[in-house]
Amino acid sequence: MSAPRPSDSKRWSISRASTLRQEQTFENDTVPVVTGSSKWSTLRKAFREPAAEFLGTAILVIFGTGVQCQVLLSSNPGVASSPKGDYFSVCVGWAVGIALGVWVSGGVSGGHINPAITLSLATFRGFSWKKVPSYILAQVLGGVVGAAIVYATYFHAIDIFEGGRGVRSMDTAGLWGIFAAPYLTNVSCFFSEFLGAAILAITIFAMSDKKNLAPPNGLAPLVLAFVIMGLAVSLGMGTGFGVNPARDFGPRLLSSMVGYGKAVYTFRNQYWLWCSIIAPIVGAQAGALFYDTFLYTGDDSIMNKS
């Protein structure tokens, strides 16, 4: 509270509980009053950015895993009279998810909602490394909670699809994490996720470049939706266009807790680690390195600092 002026001998304020009180202040005898509202404001300020990342990632996963559940499970006549969607529906669902996820979080935290992007921004664009752990933790937790909400919506349908209550197998594990097509080699799997994440990072770094064709204010999420849509319809068949460690690991963690067990981790020699986490992180770093080395001229990049 600032020192009052002579005319400010009395000031009325409304607390968070909507109770009215009068604060007596005197020119040389100001007593600071700490209200519940100011305490909450301080606490909220500390957690506001991670909370935005949590919410944005949860929304992404709700739409993405939700559409995957609807498309696969509705193919069973016991669940739906006719299929409710196809592969293109999955592409649209993930595209809408990333757009809405970034829209609700972008103005607060930057709308990374992807550990690979957070790390690339910290490496090349001066994003604070102190914030990285809280961002990534929030993103993974958002993935877990988003998947849990979808699971709570569809678990009865999963029971019918699997043929019994509580039965969980690899037939439906792909609703949560990404699993490569059996014909792909390990190198092909890694490269697919590497390439997708690199393209995503290049797009994001280009959108933040004022000397490039940055989208109008508020339309960056729409651009990202087209990027995810493009990756899905052109490069997504092999590995499922994950390109986001939180989008895979969060739901995969949830699946291991609801009956799928260790199989979601042991698949193809820890596929979840080297393809779903390491490949997107390395790919995003490579994409960011390429853009900032050859195209970006801003002073905030480490590539342009003397």
Asked if residue 141 lies in contact with residue 306, where contact means CB atoms within 8 angstroms, the answer is: no
Q: What is the pLDDT of residue 10?
A: 34
State the total domains in the chain. Answer: 1
Task: Confirm whether 89 is domain-assigned.
Answer: yes
Compute the average pLDDT of residues 196-206. Answer: 98
Q: What is the pLDDT of residue 109?
A: 97
CB burial string 254-283: b at 16+ within 10 A, e below: bbbebebeeebbebeeebbebbbbbbbbbb
Task: Confirm whether 37 is domain-assigned.
Answer: no
pLDDT digits (tens, 9 = 90+) for 259-276: 999 999 999 999 999 999
pTM of the complete model: 0.87
Residue 283's pLDDT band (cuts 50, 70, 90): very high
Higher pLDDT, 23 or 228: 228
Task: Confirm whether 19 is domain-assigned.
Answer: no
Task: Confirm whether 30 is domain-assigned.
Answer: no
Task: Confirm whether 172 is domain-assigned.
Answer: yes
Three-state DSSP class for residue 12: strand
The secondary structure element, H or E, covering residue 285 is: helix 279-294
Residue 305's pLDDT band (cuts 50, 70, 90): confident
Task: Confirm whether 15 is domain-assigned.
Answer: no
Give the range of the structural domain holding residue 284, as residue numbers without chain letter. 50-295
Task: Confirm whether 288 is domain-assigned.
Answer: yes
Task: Confirm whether 14 is domain-assigned.
Answer: no
Percent of the chain residues past pLDDT 90, beyond the cut: 82
Compute the average pLDDT of residues 56-83. Answer: 98
CATH number at residue 174: 1.20.1080.10
